[in-house]
Amino acid sequence: MPRPLRLVRHVPKEELEEMYRKERNPRIRERLHAILLLYDGKSAEEVSSILRRSMRAIRYWISAWNEGGPEGLIPHFTGGPRPRLSYEEWEDVLREIEGRGYTLKDVAFYVRDTRGVHYTYGGVWRVLRRKVKVRYGKPRREEENRPPDAGAILKRE
Residue 154 lies in a domain: no
Residue 155 lies in a domain: no
Q: Is the pLDDT of residue 1 over 60?
A: no
Q: Is the pLDDT of residue 148 over 90?
A: no
Residue 62 lies in a domain: yes
Instruction: Work out how many domains the chain is built from and give that number.
Output: 2
Q: How far apart are CA 107 and CA 124, in angstroms?
A: 7
Residue 5 lies in a domain: no
Q: What is the per-residue pLDDT across 92-129, written as a single tens digit (0 to 9) for each? A: 998 898 878 788 889 999 999 999 999 999 998 888 88
Q: What is the per-residue pLDDT across 5-53, written as a single tens digit (0 to 9) for each? A: 788 898 999 999 999 999 999 999 999 999 999 999 999 999 999 999 9
143 vs 44, residue with greater confidence: 44
Q: How far apart are CA 96 and CA 39, in angstroms?
A: 62
Other Cβ atoms less than 10 A from the Cβ of 65: the count is 22
How big, in percent rounded to 5, are the helix, strand and coil portions of the chain? Answer: 60, 0, 40
Residue 34 lies in a domain: yes
- State whether 115 and 91 are in the same domain: yes
- DSSP assigned state of 105: H
**Could you tell me if 2 and 59 are in contact, meaning their C-beta atoms sit under 8 angstroms apart?**
no
- State whether 64 and 19 are in the same domain: yes
pLDDT value at position 147? 83
137 pLDDT band, cuts 50/70/90, is low
pLDDT value at position 37? 94
Residue 31 lies in a domain: yes
Residue 58 lies in a domain: yes
Residue 19's closest CA among 41, 5, 35?
A: 35
Residue 111 lies in a domain: yes
- State whether 57 and 25 are in the same domain: yes
- Whole-number CA gyration radius for the chain: 29
pLDDT value at position 16? 92
- State whether 61 and 17 are in the same domain: yes
Residue 97's closest CA among 78, 79, 115, 82?
A: 115
| Domain ranges, residue 108 | 87-131
Q: How far apart are CA 138 and CA 156, in angstroms?
A: 27
